[in-house]
Amino acid sequence: MNKTIDLGIEGMTCAACVARVEKVLARVPGVSTAQVNLATHRARVTATPQVAFETLVTAVTKAGYGAVPVAQMRDESLPLWRVLVAAGLSLPLVAPMAFGHAAMLPGWAQALIAAPVQLWLGAPFFVAGWKSLRGGGSMDTLVALGTAAAFLLSLALMLAAWPGEAHALYFEASAVVITLVLLGRWLEQRARGRAASAIAALAALRPEVAVVLRDGVETSVQVAALAVGDVVVVRPGERIAVDGVVLEGAGSVDESLLTGEALPVAKSPGGKLTGGAINGEARLLVRTTAVGAESVLSRMVRLVEDAQAGKAPVQRLADRVSAVFVPVVAGIALVTFAGWLLAGAGSSDALVNAVSVLVIACPCALGLATPTAIMVGTGVAARRGILIRDAGALEIAHKVNVVVFDKTGTLTEGHPVVVATHKLGDADVLGLAACLQAGSEHPLARAVLALRPGALPAEGVRSLPGRGVEGRVDGARVLLGSAVLMAEAGVEIAALQSEAAALAADGRTMAYLAADGVLLGLIGFGDTVKPAASEAIAKLQAMGVRTVLLSGDTKAAAEAVGRLVGITDVRAEVLPADKAAVVAALRAGGDVVAMVGDGVNDAPALAAADIGFAMGTGTDVAMQAAGVTLMRGDPRLVADAIDLSRKTWRTLWRGLFWAMGYNVLGIPVAAMGWLDPMIAGAAMAFSSVSVVLNALWLRQCD
């Protein structure tokens, strides 16, 4: 059994760095996969149990980067003051552009001003660029080479003309390029921080302290010290610290940040609570059912982290390009320098054009386009109650053209209720039925008792398996059950034949009621359709997605639900073992199929689909088999998830287009000598920022 190891990677600046770290990790014996994310600066490695964390750290270190446990990741953010100091020193160097030749400083003054920018503020580029050289270079290598060439050329020209003044110096180019790269990196890290806000928002929902009730005394303890079975006191307005069940108290709970549901949810004794939700107006006593890593909130955070740490298949395109990018760009810069020399240009002009090529070609944007879009997309989804397991699921979801819905618990509420009552004469049909069912845990009994709570139990109650129940109420022998039971007892049911036929046509379950051999009435049971089900189907169909209803129920019951929600393709009486075969057949026909379910018997079908959607109100087995978990039982979230996936994918490709467009257009322009190094630096910095801002546009979907 392979294990998963997460590492924090230090010193990465571009897509070339990502490709290099992945390559060295993948070469470690025992490692099967290695995925590195530039936006989160994390690596996820799948390896055999024999692979030690220290071995992976050594491999990354040899490649010129740092590796630490995720919990020990240091803040590598660029302080704003470095950007401001670089800008302040660069302004006198670019003053002649605004105020003319009279504002130009002597060469020695330019050198003194540019030196701190180049040698102090720009030092990290040289350190990181040197470390990455053994693997083929990185963005820092290009910046270091370009700015060093401009600075050294200017220094040489100045010294050659000493004590006079050289006519063409490029100190401003080296200083401004470093300043712009620093500014771009600062803006980029701010934007990345906003992109990563989803996990921070979820993690912030966890209270650190809870009030526990022990031996009748309320005591404040650290949440980490709580155990399953502890009774926690939740006061009005407090955030709930643990997953649990209400023992005492009744009120409303705000679960919006967990499920996306705006309306408060009513809770009473026996109701389930999720840690992170906000208690309303009542004092609640809660028995803890899950703590720590097993809580719903922790699992949500873990799922979002997994999705953001993963790599979408489309990212492989960017990785293949970036793996050879830096060496190719260095080669183009050399060809540019040589070409201009052969064309008769001076060495200084040739070098400036080569510097422009090095600066404009930075592959930062290429490495950020995909992971930032995925970070923002999965974060927006999480805030709406949609948990996406990995980037692959996000990529598949936008292609879905067929959604298969399980019926029970997905489009319907999942438990029977009384939908019709017919009586003969003035008999209290529900009251008598409740007396027979008092104390029973049968689903149909609960449906009756929900309408008539507190009924006095009948005498001599006896269950008749497969047929119904009998007992004595006020001395009369009362029967509740099927037509077969009525026939056995000699009860004539023809008087309610038309009503029974109507219920049967809608797929309802029926129970006749009789007393002392006389028919008194008929009760119809059914699983009610969720209020939002028809809206969910209409939205999917408007998006061009075909819908299929799959059920093990009778044809009449399944078709009745299909009519109510607007699904015409209904597959009924399908055994649990055959659901996966139906999904596989749809896929074999060329469709990209999503399966939506909530039960254990849906797990095979969820796994067989291109992507599975599990209702968070369902079983853990279903959630484990699905690529997407919907935190509340609202089928409209299926359409929301597909729509968000489509928007994320459009955003991702738009980012890749911008990133590649900068390089494809910028490199030839720079090589032709039409791009000053300062303009190239500004364009390179803007490319990274624009790609991240493009991804942040997705937050408008929240």
Domain ranges of the chain: 3-72, 227-290, 382-412+530-643, 414-528
Angle at 679 between CA 367 and CA 87, to 5 degrees: 90
Q: Is the pLDDT of residue 354 over 90?
A: no
Protein fold of 382-412+530-643: Rossmann fold (3.40.50)
Asked if 596 and 410 count as a contact pair (C-beta separation under 8 A), the reply is: yes
pLDDT of residue 192: 61
Task: Name the token pair of 278.
Answer: 């906000």
Q: What does the DSSP assignment read for 166-179?
A: -S---HHHHHHHHH
Q: What is the CATH number of domain 227-290?
A: 2.70.150.10
Sort residue 122 into left (φ over 0), alpha (ψ -120 to 50) or beta: alpha
Q: Is the pLDDT of residue 229 over 50?
A: yes
Q: Work out the burial of residue 540: count CB atoms within 10 Å of its CB; fewer than 13 is exposed, 13-18 middle, 19 or more buried.
A: buried
Q: Is the pLDDT of residue 204 over 90?
A: no
Write down the mean pLDDT value for the chain. Answer: 82
The stretch 374-397 carries a mean pLDDT of 81
Q: Evaluate the CA torsion angle 646, 648, 652, 657 in order and state its sign.
A: positive
Asked if 407 and 553 count as a contact pair (C-beta separation under 8 A), the reply is: yes
Name the band, by pLDDT with cuts 50, 70 and 90, for residue 621. very low
Q: Is the pLDDT of residue 262 over 80?
A: no
Write down the H helix ranges in 278-363.
Answer: 296-309, 315-323, 325-342, 347-360
Share of the chain above pLDDT 70, in %: 85
Asked if 687 and 661 count as a contact pair (C-beta separation under 8 A), the reply is: no
pLDDT of residue 619: 45
pLDDT of residue 199: 61
pLDDT of residue 349: 83
**pLDDT (tens digit, 9 = 90+) per residue, 111-121?**
899 999 999 99
User: Which class is domain 3-72?
Assistant: alpha beta
Nearest to 492 by CA among 512, 469, 463: 512
Name the band, by pLDDT with cuts 50, 70 and 90, for residue 623. low
> How many Cβ atoms from other residues are within 10 Å of residue 143's Cβ?
28
The stretch 650-670 carries a mean pLDDT of 82
C-alpha separations of 385 from 112, 275, 401, 637 in Å: 57, 15, 22, 8
Share of the chain above pLDDT 90, in %: 23
Is there a common fold for 3-72 and 414-528? no
pLDDT of residue 83: 87
Cis amide linkage into residue 576, ω under 30° from 0: no
Task: Considering only residues 308 and 499, tell me which one the structure prediction assigns the higher pLDDT.
Answer: 499
What residues have CB less than 8 Å from 553, skipping those under 6 apart? 407, 408, 507, 572, 573
pLDDT of residue 120: 93
Name the band, by pLDDT with cuts 50, 70 and 90, for residue 202. low
The DSSP 8-state label assigned to residue 406 in this structure reads E
Q: Is the pLDDT of residue 180 over 80?
A: no
Q: Is the pLDDT of residue 332 over 80?
A: yes
Task: Name the token pair of 599.
Answer: 């039960």
**Catalytic residue numbers?**
406
414-528 falls under which CATH superfamily?
Answer: Calcium-transporting ATPase, cytoplasmic domain N (3.40.1110.10)
pLDDT of residue 622: 47
Distance CA 468, CA 482 (A): 6
Q: Is the pLDDT of residue 64 over 50?
A: yes
The stretch 570-577 carries a mean pLDDT of 79
3-state secondary structure of 388: strand
191-206 residues labelled b (16+ CB within 10 A) or e (exposed): bbebbbebbeebeebb
